[in-house]
Amino acid sequence: MGEFSIWHWLVVLLVVMLLFGSGKVSGLMGDLAKGIKSFKATMAEDDPPKVRSVAPPVAAPAPGTLEAELAAERPPAAPVRAPVEAAAAAPSETNRAA
- pLDDT interval class at 98 (50, 70, 90): very low
| pLDDT over threshold 90, residue 36 | yes
pLDDT tens for each residue of 60-71: 767 777 777 777
The pLDDT value given to residue 37: 94
Q: Whole-model pTM?
A: 0.33
Q: Per residue in 31-46, is it b (16+ CB within 10 Å) or e — as a string?
A: eeeeeeeeeeeeeeee
Q: How far is CA 18 from CA 14, 29, 58, in A?
A: 6, 17, 76
- pLDDT interval class at 76 (50, 70, 90): low
| pLDDT over threshold 60, residue 92 | no
